[in-house]
Every structure is written in structure tokens, then in C-alpha cells.
Structure 1
Amino acid sequence: MTETIHVACEGQFQLAEGVQYDDATGHLWWTNINARELWRLDPSSGEERYWILPQRIGCFALTQRHDVVLLALEGGLAQFNTTTGTLKRMATVEPHILETRTNDGRCDRAGNLVFGTQNERGRNALGSWYRFDVHGRLQKLDLPQIAIPNSLCFSPDGSTMYWCDSRLHVLMQSSYDADTGHISNTRLFADPGNARIHPDGSCVDAEGYLWNAEWYGQRVVRYRPDGSVDRVIPLPVSQPSCVAFGGPALNILYISTAREDLGAAAIAAEPLAGSILAVPMGDVRGLPENRWLGAV
């Protein structure tokens, strides 16, 4: 089967990441990390808007208010009101480690934000996974330290947390208790089998299959719950960064991409690098994006 790939936003972003769909408003959100931008698109009208923040955004979460987004900025968490442009600081993250910043994250099925920190100055595993719960408490999760946290998402019942350290080229899974943040039974989920490929952002569909954007892999892969490959979507770009289901029926796969570190020849060969792509998936449907359920 050959999927039809559309361009939702031809943004030429250096590092578009963390794409999410708000099923309540129909808006598509993502970050342009290095430019410190938060973007919003109305796919039905094509209307775009973006905000420039004081720090880079590693990840973010929708909240119970359509005009408030929880941001994981470089040094901590803050609520951002898109109507007033105001920031409300919530928590500081790793102020004692100068080499790290926040990176990938998503909310669990109980409305807590889980995110990781990454080492920006080398390949050593200096980062950690954290949970910012609905009561505003920050908790370090009992997982190995990481260099580049990615692929954070949860099974439909919330009991399995998927994640990776992109530096290690494999996808992992852990048993997860959303009430306490307790982690157990960490094990391999899937191995793409190519040391050049860096697993990046992921999401889980309504059937419990995991979709992963493969940085340098030029494709998105759908994995069965047992970790075997179900299908592959080839892409016209080498650096897909994250995936999310959206649209009124949640059957459009949105893919954020990047043109970071691509030279002129590479960009000429893949002019859609840095765009937000959209792939209609027919009868495959996603799940509504989990929101942070803390007070806003």
C-alpha cells in the first residue's frame, strides 16, 4: 500500500518537533525548538500562528483550557497563556546540571506530564526522565540516565510506557503505574536494526500499535504491541521527528520534520525537509492527545 503524503505546513523549520492535535479545537500544535517558537495551525482553514518564548521548548502538553499550554522550557516548566502571552513558572528542572535541557515528553493516561532531559554537550548519559504530576509535584523516574530522551508515549490502558535513548538506536518499554509513577520491568521493545537510525518521537494508535518517526531513516514505522514491524511509510525527508494522529476522525497521521544540519545539496534533494506532513490513514485511528490535568 502506498500512502499519499500531503503538506500541512511548508514551514522550512530547522527543528520542528513534538506535533500534537487538539481534538477539542481542531488545532495542530508543534515546536520549532531552536527558534524558541510554539506553533499552532488550523488545518481546516490554513490559519497559522506562532509565539516566541524566552527559552527553547523541549516538549509541551495541552491542558483543560484551550488557551493555556504547559511548556517544558530549557530550565523548567511553565504555563503559557496564548491569549495574554504570560508565563507562569511551575518548576525548575536540573539547575545544577548545565549541560542538559528538557526534550521529548507526553502526558500519561492520568494527565501527568512525563518528559526527559538531554545532554547538549556530548554523548554521555546525563539526562533523566521526570514526571510532573497533576498536583504540580516533580518526580524523577526510576530509569537509567539517558543522553537523548525520545519516543515517549503510553499504551491505550496506560500501563506500558514506551521510550528510548536515541543514541542507543533501540526502543524500550517499561511497566508504568500512573498513580505513583512507579517503573518496573524495563525491557527491549523493538530494534530497527540499523545503527544509523535514531528513533525519535512516537505515538500509539487506538489498536495499541506504536508509530515511530525514524530520524535519518526517512520513514515512519508502525510496530505491533509485540515489537514486530506492521508497516512502513517511506517519506520524502530524512529527518522526521515526531508523529501524532489528528483530524475530526483522528485518522490523519501528522509528521513533524527538520532540516537541521542539512546542507544546500541535501535540502535541494528533499525540499520538504522542515515541513509538517499529513498522511490520511483510512481506517487506522489514533487516540485523543492526553492533557495535563493539573490546575490552570
Structure 2
Amino acid sequence: MSGTHPADPIAEAFEAHRERLTAVAYRVLGSHADAEDAVQEAWLRLSRQDTDAIDNLGGWLTTVVCRISLDFLRSSRTRPTVPLDNWLPELTVTLDYGLAPEELVALGDSVGLALLTVLDSLRPDERLAFVLHDVFAVPHGEIGTILGRSADATKMLTSRARRKVQDARQSASDRQRHREVVGAFLAAARDGQFERLLEVLHPEVKLTVHTPNGQFVTLGATEVATRARVAGSAARGHAATVNGRPGVISWNEDGTPLSLLTFTVADDRITEITALIDPAKLALIDLPDPV
């Protein structure tokens, strides 16, 4: 391990706990890189600590890693957002990697799809309590020590997080179905399948396109299907989630954003499409880098 000395008994003891510490941090943070950073920071803190005063090294390290993870979560939620024009809602855009199988395996069956989809909606303390108790079977009293709460308060916290995870099971199913509907629309737009477009569009669908020359609105399935070429480049873009809704982002060859499409789906039909193709407006949004 970088920064440790295998001949050092403290380093060896730390290595014995590394796998579990990394698993805890990853399930709390949802990021391999952040988990590794949290574990490395725990090692640095241990190296500055009087280890003779530590009665339970495993418990001490778990507490430290969890508190570091909490700091990571809280700081990520307080980053300033990019100010946008009054007409443009504040957008949160994240790439959708389709819940890659290797990510699901890494998280473990005990976490499952529900936690993946609800992860960002849980407060940091809820997330930590849920993962430690329901995934790693850590007693509420120990979790409370980490969080600075009583065992009863921690039990309530875990219960609240569990309800959110359970509620998210249905939401996850809905979101997956919405992505499938959008995928069918993009495939039909790409292949010029007019009848298929009409099948996935609501009869009163609304298409709003924001261009450098202004905003243009098209109403009705027939009109929107006719103009579906606006989705041509997006069909070769990358799936994204835009404020919780399915979307597609595409980039120019130089890496600058080309378009951002957002879809509203109800009853397996698209009821609204917003297409942003104005470079000046796209530049105002904190968009992911090209993939």
C-alpha cells in the first residue's frame, strides 16, 4: 500500500482491516476513488496517532473512515452551483451508465438496485446509518457513537432511511421504464420510423427547443414526430439524468456540449421534450465531460 511500511506492525494491522474499510467507504460514498481516498486519509490519521491508546483498532478505523466519508458527502452537497438565466431552471446533469453489472457486483447484493437509485436522496447521516446497520450489521449504539447520536435516535435514522430505500424500489422500476421509452423514441428518430415515433409520443406532446435564435415550441405527436430530426445527434449521445428525468447529452468533436435533451414520460408515452442546443446556454450549465 502506498504510504505504509509492511514491516511496521501498525501498517500490517491496518492492511488487515483495509478490505473491510474500503467496502464500508465505497458503499457509503458510491465511488471507488473517494473510498480509496477516505481509507488513505484514515491511514494518515492512524500514523499520527498514539496507537497504544487505541483499544480496538478495527472499531477506531471504522469510526474514522465513516466520519471522513460523512465529510466527503457533506462537502459534495455544499458546492456552489452555476448561476443560470431566469428562464433556465437550475439543472443537475449526471451521466447514466445504465447500472453496469460490475458496479452492482461491487456494491453487493445486500445493497442492490434500490440503494443505488436512492443514494443521493438520503441525507449523509441516513446513508451512513443504513449502510452500517443493514449492510454490515453494526449495532445502533456503535453507529450512534460515530454520528454523535443516541442509539434510539440512530435507530430512527436507520428506519427512515430504510423506508426511503423501500419506496425507491418502485421509483427505480419507473425510471428504468422511462429510459426504455426514451430509448425507443431515439431509435425511431434515428431510423426514421414515423409510425413508431407516434406510438411512443403522447398525442398532445410538447417539444420546446432552445436555440441561439430563441425558443421554439411544437405541439402534437404528428408535428413532433415530423421534427424528430432534432434528436438525430442525440441518438448517438450519452444517456443522462437531468433533474431526475431521463435525458441525452451529446458533444462536439472538440469536447464542447452540442445538445441536451430532457424527456417527461407518463403512462409509457413521452409528454414533453426539452431540447437545449444554444451553446451560450449550454455553457452556463455544469455538464459532465465527454465520454
Q: TM-score, normalised by structure 2?
A: 0.28
Higher helix residue share: 2
Q: Which one has a bigger Cα radius of gyration? A: 2
> Which structure shows the bigger proportion of residues in strand conformation?
1
Q: Which has the higher contact order (CA 8 A, sep 6+)?
A: 1
TM-score using structure 1 length: 0.27
